[in-house]
Every structure is written in structure tokens, then in C-alpha cells.
Amino acid sequence: MSKNSNSSDQLTAGIKNPCFGLLSTDEKEYVNQAKTEKTLKSGHELFGEDATLKGVYCVNKGKVKIYKLGNDGKEQIIDIAKESALLGFRTMLAENPSKVTAETLEECSITFIPRECFMSLLSSNSKFQGALLKLACQELGVLTDSITNYAQQPVRERLAGMLLVLMGTYKKEEQDPDTVEINLSREDLANIIGTATETTIRILREFKKKELINIKGRKITILNSHELMKIADTQ
Amino acid sequence: MSKNSNSSDQLTAGIKNPCFGLLSTDEKEYVNQAKTEKTLKSGHELFGEDATLKGVYCVNKGKVKIYKLGNDGKEQIIDIAKESALLGFRTMLAENPSKVTAETLEECSITFIPRECFMSLLSSNSKFQGALLKLACQELGVLTDSITNYAQQPVRERLAGMLLVLMGTYKKEEQDPDTVEINLSREDLANIIGTATETTIRILREFKKKELINIKGRKITILNSHELMKIADTQ
DNA sequence: CGCTAATTTGACCTTAGTCAAATTCTGTGG
DNA sequence: CCACAGAATTTGACTAAGGTCAAATTAGCG
């Protein structure tokens, strides 16, 4: 029991997305040959808007922001990806240039799988393709909810809800939920919920005064998730 | 040339989505056995929120609104589906209850394909599965753009852009673009762009005064798409 | 023709964006 | 360890966008 990793785990080290668990031993070996793993500093761009992707990226450690530039050049952050996320596959499979930019928010460990490898796995392994299809459809559901949220909810409600989502994103395994620190610039936070930085700050202050959150520099801790949930679901 | 339909076309009559063109003759025959086709009146609900779907729906003729109820009970219309759209597959493949309601906006012809049939096609035909995966990924791209639009653009810009999208939705083949009539209630139009009915009316009036659109009762015609495009892309 | 529902208009008010200035943080070099 | 430049955050004052409510008008339909 001292060595609890089996051979197939080793073959996909650095690839935490569960879809890859469906690969055969040979296929895992193939991925292992083709993949490259890198440690990247904060602020590194994995790929940009309009880029044609040369492969997909697996987040092994760290956070990556996925954003799109609006007409006025303002970033709209679509997602904060964390460990086990698979990035770039939508773009590659839609056979279109990327609609988003992926940029590291911290030091990250990222595994790159070249296009040819990824595409050949898809065509050879129907279960793997099915798992990605399921993943894509689930994300469609999430984005559908997001649209309703952006279109109908006021900023205060969106911020409350987003803080709860981010609590999940920044939570480490087995960690006490009350100690999760959300570590984002105010501007990034504003660009997630789609509002001005100043407005975000004012509402955060209000939440702090009501003892729903705690603020230490840029780090935010959730104190009263129950009350935040009520605010998020209002109206 | 008097009969220009070949046998495989006949086998998938009532199923206009191009993904089904990838099926073998046998598979098309199978679908043909399992499918049912119905004509439905305006206002008929194909499936509702939280429903577990018994199959997928192909729009053969007519328009279907796909919406989600917000916390305050207000409809958020996610899409106006037209002929050749495939509805319900996201929900079925995500293996979750539906997040949306699908309701006919006019008299529609709809083909229903039972769950077992659809799922067995997916597992037996990798090309078909791949085509759906591509479709799902493309829709993810569209929703990503939508989020940026809802989060950052003011109502006037969103309305201008949405009128152009709806022009495409309501255009009949080979029709002169200047004669396309968008036929939606003011409330539905407001629920697409995520605003109040009154605000929608006021901005429509402004567009009419500027001779960008024409209004005949509930029917809207685009007169100056070029100018609307400029408004939509502003800021 | 009359009834109901949809559309339109007006007045008012809340929300949230903008701009400018002040303050606090942060990392870097001495 | 400290000072400091540059960046990020915070605050205040003002403005504009768009929501709400109520009432009036129009349209559609049996």
C-alpha cells in the first residue's frame, strides 16, 4: 500500500480530467509519448482569441482565466478553470478559431496534448468521444443558466452568487469551507460578473459590513454562505 | 427529374438536421421505424424544466422558443429554434433533467425520436456522435459570445443585434432580406434581450423614427441592417 | 359589437456607470 | 530594514440607463 499508483495512473500523470480515464492502456501510453508538461508563471497566455489551436491543455495545478474581449476592449471572464479542467477542446472540435483567451492567474502546471494525438483518440475511442460529448452538453447547461443570470439578475445578486461559485473554485480538498480564500483582483472579479470595478468594491464593502464575508487585502473569505445564497436567489 | 428524392432522403423525411445525413441506410431505416411526426398548434410545450426527456425533437417546420424561468418567474428566452434544429439532445446527453422549456410559437411540424433509438445511434455510429460533438462545441461558442453581450452591452445595442439575428431566423429561403418579417410579441422580444417590455417598445419606436425598421402591428421588418449592425457593435 | 389581451405612453425612481481624486499595497533596489 | 515608484484599491460626486407602476389606447377575436 505504500505505492498506491497503478500503471495506468502513471501513464496519464499530469492529466486529471476524468475523460482520460476511459482510455485503454495503449492509448494512455500514446498520450504519454505525445504530451508535454510545463510549469508556467502567472500571467502567461496559453492561447488567444482567433488562434488556431495546436492542441488541448490540461490544468494540473493553478487557476486559468478564460475571457473574451467585448467591443470596448473590456475583458469578460467566462470561467475560472482549476485543476482537472480541459481547455481548448471546444475550439478544436468546433473547427473554428478560438473565441476566447486562456491566461494563467497563478503559477500553473499545464499538460499539453497535440492536436493529432487528441483527434486520433476521439476517432478511435467512442467512449472517450462520448465522455467529451457529455462534458460539452453539461457545460451548455451551465452557460444557459449563466445567460439567465446575466440577463435578469442585478449586480448585487450576481456578485453574491459568484462568490459562492468561486468558493468552490478556490476550495482545496478536505478544506474547511469557512477558510477558503478567494484570491482575485477586484478588476477580475468585476469582469466576471460584468460590472465596473468600483461597483464591485462598494458591494463587497456592504457584504463585509453585514458580516457575510471577510476581506484581507485582495483575499476574500466567505463567512455566511447561507445568507449569500438568499441574496443570490432574490428577485 | 420529376422525382428528385432518393431513397435515403425518404428514410429521414421530417429530420432536417444535417447530422442525420451521416447515418447508414440501415440506421436511417431504423430511425424511420422509431420516429413519430406530429403537427402541433402554437403554444404547445414539447418539454418543460426539470423534465426527464423521453427522446429528442427535430423541428421540421415552424419556430420553437427555448426558455428558462428566472428567479422572479420571468422567462429568459435562450433561443428561437427554427427548421432543422435538434432539441433535447443536450439535456439527454448531459444526463440531467432539462434546464429549459421548449414551446411552439406557431403551428409546427415536429419529429420525435425516442431516447433508445437516439442513444443506440450514438454508440453505434462514431461519425454521428462526432457530428453532435461538433454541434455542441459550436453552440458553446455561440453562448460564450452571448454572455459577453448580456454582461457588457446596453439594451439598445443588444436589441439592434438581436433584430439582425432574428432576421436570419425568420428569413425564408431565397427571400429578399428586406422583406423578412419578425413575428414575435413585444414581451417575447423583451424576454430574449433580457429587459422590460416597455423599454423594448421605446427603443423599437426610436429605431422606427430613424427608419432602421418598419413596424406593422407586431410584425417588424428590417430596413437598414447596416446601421443596426453599427449600433450593435458600439461600445 | 363588445371583451380581453397586448401595446403604448408618461412620470418617477433606483441602479449602476463614469470620472476624478485620495489612499493603500506591493515589489524592488538601496 | 526602509524608502519609493507604480499599481491597485477605495471613496465621493455626479449622471445616465433602464426598471416600475399606472393609465390610456389599440388590436384581435368570438
The string of pLDDT tens digits covering residues A176-187 is 888 899 999 999
Of the residues B118, B132, B137, B146, the best mutation for testing chain A's interface (the one with the most A CB atoms within 10 Å of its CB) is B137
Cross-chain Cβ contact B78/A136 below 8 Å: no
CB B55 within 8 A of CB B169: no
* A235: chain B residues, CB-CB within 8 Å: 70-72
pLDDT at A36 over 90: yes
CB A218 within 8 A of CB A208: no
Cross-chain Cβ contact B150/A151 below 8 Å: yes
- What pLDDT is stored for residue A9 in this prediction? 58
* A78: chain B residues, CB-CB within 8 Å: 144, 147-148
Cross-chain Cβ contact B94/A145 below 8 Å: no
Q: How many CA atoms lie within 13 A of B156 on its CB side?
A: 13
| CB atoms near residue A183 (< 10 Å) | 15
Closest chain A residue to B132, measured at CA: A133
- Strand D contact residues in chain A (183-202), C-beta within 7 Å: 185-187, 197-198, 201-202
Question: Which pLDDT tens digit goes with each residue over A62-76?
Answer: 999 999 999 989 999
How far apart are the C-alpha atoms of B136 and A140, rounded to whole Å?
A: 8
How far apart are the C-alpha atoms of A164 and A143, rounded to whole Å?
A: 17
Cross-chain Cβ contact A152/B194 below 8 Å: yes
CB B131 within 8 A of CB B22: yes
CB A122 within 8 A of CB A77: no
Pairs across A and B, CB distance < 8 A: 142
Query: From the C1' of D10, which residue's alpha carbon is nearest?
Result: A201
Range B198-203, long-range pairs (CB < 8 A, 24+ positions): B199/B155, B200/B155, B200/B159, B203/B155, B203/B156, B203/B159
Q: At residue A91, what is the residue type?
A: T
Cross-chain Cβ contact B146/A147 below 8 Å: yes
Question: For residue A38, what are the β-bridge partners?
Answer: A110
* A95: chain B residues, CB-CB within 8 Å: 134
Cross-chain Cβ contact B78/A233 below 8 Å: no
Q: Name the percent of chain A lying above pLDDT 70.
A: 95
Cross-chain Cβ contact A147/B152 below 8 Å: no
Of the residues A19, A137, A149, the best mutation for testing chain B's interface (the one with the most B CB atoms within 10 Å of its CB) is A137
How far apart are the C-alpha atoms of B203 and B198, rounded to whole Å?
A: 9
- Strand D contact residues in chain B (134-193), C-beta within 7 Å: 154-156
- Shortest distance, CA B80 to any CA of chain A (angstroms): 14
pLDDT at A45 over 80: yes
pLDDT at B66 over 70: yes
Question: Which pLDDT tens digit goes with each residue over B158-179?
Answer: 999 999 999 999 998 888 888 8
CA-wise closest residue to A75 among B138, B86, B152, B218: B152
Given phi > 0 = left and psi -120 to 50 = alpha, else beta, which region is B73?
Answer: left
- What is the torsional sign of CA A85, A88, A92, A94? positive
First-to-last alpha carbon distance for chain B, in angstroms, is: 53
pLDDT at A5 over 50: no
- What pLDDT is stored for residue B1 in this prediction? 47
Candidates A132, A138, A235; nearest CB to B133: A132
Q: Which nucleotide is nearest to B193 (CA to C1')?
A: D18
Question: For residue B45, what are the β-bridge partners?
Answer: B103
C-alpha cell at A24: 485503454
Of the residues A49, A120, A144, A200, the best mutation for testing chain B's interface (the one with the most B CB atoms within 10 Å of its CB) is A144
In this prediction, residue A175 has a pLDDT band, given cuts at 50, 70 and 90, of confident
Residue B66 vs residue B11, higher pLDDT: B66
Question: Cell 443585434 maps to which residue?
Answer: B161
Question: Which pLDDT tens digit goes with each residue over A110-121?
Answer: 999 999 999 999
Question: Which pLDDT tens digit goes with each residue over B16-38?
Answer: 999 999 999 999 999 999 999 99
**DSSP state at residue A172:** P
pLDDT at A3 over 60: no
Q: Which nucleotide is nearest to B205 (CA to C1')?
A: C8
pLDDT at A4 over 80: no
Question: Which pLDDT tens digit goes with each residue over B145-158?
Answer: 999 999 999 999 99
- What pLDDT is stored for residue A173 in this prediction? 84
For chain B, percent helix, then strand, then coil, each to nearest 5?
A: 45, 20, 30
A45 touches strand D (CB under 7 A): no
First-to-last alpha carbon distance for chain A, in angstroms, is: 53
Question: Which pLDDT tens digit goes with each residue over B184-224?
Answer: 999 999 999 999 999 999 999 999 999 999 999 899 999 99
- What pLDDT is stored for residue B11 in this prediction? 65
How far apart are the C-alpha atoms of B103 and B44, rounded to whole Å?
A: 5
**Pairing assessment for the beta strands B45-47 and B55-61 based on DSSP bridges:** unpaired
CB B151 within 8 A of CB A155: no
CB A112 within 8 A of CB A57: yes
Average pLDDT over residues A132-160: 97
Which nucleotides in chain C lie closer than 7 A to a protein CB? 6-11, 15-20, 25-26
Q: Which of A11-25, B135-149, B165-179 has the highest mean pLDDT?
A: B135-149
- Strand D contact residues in chain B (194-213), C-beta within 7 Å: 194-196, 198-199
Length, in residues, of chain A: 235
**DSSP state at residue B95:** T
Question: Which pLDDT tens digit goes with each residue over B70-124?
Answer: 998 999 999 999 999 999 999 999 999 999 999 999 999 999 999 999 999 999 9
Query: From the C1' of D26, which residue's alpha carbon is nearest?
Result: B217
pTM of the model: 0.92
pLDDT at A189 over 70: yes
